[in-house]
Structure 1
Amino acid sequence: MSFLIGIGLFSFGSHRSFAQTQTPISFAYLYGRPPSSFEASINRTNGTFNRVSPTYFGVNADGSLDLTSIDTQFINDMHQKSIKVIPRLTADWNKKLGEKALANREVLAAQIAKAVNKYHLDGVNVDLEDLGPSDKQALTQLTALLKQKLGKKEVSVAVAANPAGWTAGWQGSYDDRALAKVSDYIILMAYDESYAGSAPGPVAGLPFVTKSIDYALNQGVPKDKLVLGIPLYGRIWNTDMSVSGSSVPLYEVNTIMAKFHPSLTYSQSQQTPVATFAVGNNSHFRLNSWSDPLPVGVYTLYYENHDSISSKLNAVTANDLGGSAVWSIGQDDPALWTFYKAALNPIQGIH
């Protein structure tokens, strides 16, 4: 049985006031899997998504565009399904590369616009992370340049969750209000509340998510421009912290359930499922192909299931947000796609 249907179902309500006339954005990042697998990954979601974002746009050492892995057949196939292809621009969490990109923004924006037009893409998603408050204005200017050059094509920006209104650190690099004015929509990365190296806790507890939504709206982001990012992974810790917040794809949670038969609880306050289990001497279990086997010990796994994801989608509809985004396809459990689309758009139930 899929972990997504193992705990009592969360009841999502229909609160959307604009859904009858506006189809919610349903955005899927494609990452961490071979590009040859992208189409099959999208096909198995049963028409859930109307936008996909492969990582075609990187940054070279001089701040110019690093154009990689363009798959024209994939682009054509997505268009035949009425799915927009909006590549992600990333510096791979490299502060120096990100700053080079911003310093070279005039050239970079022109290069991106040329690539978008050449390959019949539908826009760009700006996902530059690990910057700082001094980069805030330049990031807004890059976004404005892209929108100016791309015209009717879509420009979106991924921004940090900021439930506490931090102005320092990488959260301080985003001027949500200004970015919303120069882009088509803002993708709120409402995850990594707990992270690699942190104390055990949820990846995206509902209070963290709702406070992050409130912050963005209070900053002046129009609700129909705000898109809620949802994680398709969990994180795992053991009691001696030798494993400390390692990422666990949702499909791997099913394997853990079958192999270790963990004790399951559900936090109503956090709207997050939690699994606890022991690993013995001869388990030889690896979280992924490149990691060492889990050492002997007692583990706590915070993850996402039907109830927790439904609670986040309910926050989208309750706040009349523009839609949702997932990080990332390839980490998902196929059971998600039996309910996700209807939960995001309960009035229409279609995309």
Structure 2
Amino acid sequence: MQIHIVQPGESLYMIGKMYGVPYELIAQANELASETRLAIGQALVIPIIGSYYWVRPGDSLYKIAQAYGLSVEELAKINAINPAGILRIGQRLYIPQEKKTPIDALLYVEPRNPVSQDMLAEVRERVEQLTYLAMFSYEVQRDGSLKAPNTADILSIAKDAGVVNMLVLTNLENYGFSAELGHVLFTDQAAQNNMIKNAIDTAKASGYADIHFDFELLLPEDRELYNQMLRNARDQIHKAGLTLSTALAPKAGNVTTGIYGAHDYKAHGEICDFVVLMTYEWGYTYSAPQAVSPIGPVTKVVEYAVSQIPRDKIFLGQNLYGYDWTAPFGQADSKPARAFSPRAATNLAIEQNASIDYDTLAQAPHYTYYDQSGIEHEVWFEDARSINAKFRLLKDFKLRGIMYWKLGLSFPQNWLLLEDQFTIRKR
């Protein structure tokens, strides 16, 4: 696959001619709302096998070959050129497709009541590219009983496609994560055992193979109590023939205070069959405008994670959304940012005639626009370039796989590049 960045004056027809691909296929692959309108700076995935490289000043065949993991002889032979010859600036070279890397892919799904036909259709569309589907969520009550989501036909659709269904337990209470509820479950042994038993019984009855704890915003002093609960859960869950996993807040070190303090990377790595890193939300609803998952901070979290947890247990978390912030930014009276999909963010840029910039430090696209009232907005989102940066990180650190939050947010470029670069394991 080729990633192309729209330049001033380019049309979809011109881009198609450049790569020898019908422009209709490019529009279809990227799920473009219009075949006639593009945004300057917009990233497009060109549906070809392999990619092209145009020679730049200072390039050599050796330098280009090294960048793509090829020998000079291989690159010269593929392009039918003399390996000792001189390259021309602007000369097009074909780069063959890299060997696919085997990984696991995990996607959270948060069904509403009732479950829409659109959601069921999207589940059917995505299951072939998944190893796990995580049902968010079974809300644990203070007595250990579970408040179940409406799963409709989602579980059977996933199972028929060879996907492992995951039962997600949360400490959600009154629409927010509750540290108090977590403490009750850590200290009330009867409620804790009731929760574990109910989770196992539900898993066996409904066809879940993994029980996943997504307990967040816990009291930092409950760190070891949480670990003890997970050990108790592991013993009972494994005895029932199921696996145990957890979601971990993004930390770049052994932080023991604050809202992330209760998450003990080393302990979770020892206790659980696998973990998912929630490596997003640097930019969030009430923050100043910024990248949701900037590559620098994400990399630091991964570096710490692999120092504490076996790599084959770690999933890199990835957001399938961006935010639209309204001025004034980052103040106490600022409006909450609006979350929306990467596809919607791109369409809004086109609608507003906004040029999309790319922050190479954060590895994230962004733009500004003014609404009908003249109020400034700043948008940060994900595109083919930013997801490609996360894929490189995943490969470089040899992690088990990638986790997405969540189904229902359209990002067609992600799925194209995922299929192009990886073989998704079924377990």
Runs of at least 5 residues in structure 1 that lack an aligned partner in the other structure: 15-19, 282-295
Runs of at least 5 residues in structure 2 that lack an aligned partner in the other structure: 1-26, 33-40, 52-66, 70-98
1:164-203 per-residue CA deviation (whole Å, 9 max, x = no partner) reads: 5432112111111111111111100000012222222110
Residue of structure 1 equivalent to 2:265 = 176
Q: Is the 8 A contact 1:125 1:158 kept in 2?
A: yes
Once structures 1 and 2 are overlaid, which stretch shifts more, 77-86 or 249-258?
A: 249-258
1:19-30 aligned within 5 A:
23-30=102-109
Name the amino acid aligned to 2:199. Answer: I
Name the amino acid aligned to 1:303. Answer: F
Residue of structure 2 equivalent to 1:287 = none
Whole-angstrom distance in 2 between the partners of 1:22 and 1:120: 29
Which of 179, 187, 211 aligns to 2:300? It is: 211
Q: Does 1:6 align with 2:42?
A: yes
Residue of structure 1 equivalent to 2:195 = 108
Distance 1:123 1:22, change over 3 A: farther
1:100-179 aligned within 5 A:
100-103=184-187, 104-151=191-238, 152-163=241-252, 165-179=254-268
Residue of structure 2 equivalent to 1:291 = none
1:1-351 aligned within 5 A:
2=30, 6-7=42-43, 23-31=102-110, 33=112, 35-36=115-116, 37-45=118-126, 47-71=128-152, 73-92=153-172, 93-103=177-187, 104-151=191-238, 152-163=241-252, 165-218=254-307, 220-241=308-329, 242-281=334-373, 296-343=374-421, 345=422, 348=423
Distance 1:297 1:51, change over 3 A: same
Number of paired residues?
327
Distance 1:149 1:330, change over 3 A: same
Taking only the aligned residue pairs, the percentage that are identical comes to 21
TM-score by length of 1: 0.84
Higher Rg of the two aligned structures: 2
**Following TM superposition, by how much is the alpha carbon of 1:22 offset from its aligned partner in structure 2, in angstroms?**
9.0
Whole-angstrom distance in 1 between the partners of 2:321 and 2:389: 16
TM-score by length of 2: 0.70
**Following TM superposition, by how much is the alpha carbon of 1:123 offset from its aligned partner in structure 2, in angstroms?**
1.4
Whole-angstrom distance in 2 between the partners of 1:54 and 1:187: 14
Residue of structure 2 equivalent to 1:284 = none
Q: Is the 8 A contact 2:383 2:413 kept in 1?
A: no
Whole-angstrom distance in 2 between the partners of 1:332 and 1:168: 36
Name the amino acid aligned to 1:42. Answer: V
Distance 1:349 1:188, change over 3 A: closer
**Following TM superposition, by how much is the alpha carbon of 1:66 offset from its aligned partner in structure 2, in angstroms?**
2.1
With CA pairs under 8 Å and 6+ residues apart, which has the higher RCO, 1 or 2?
A: 1
Name the amino acid aligned to 2:310. Answer: P
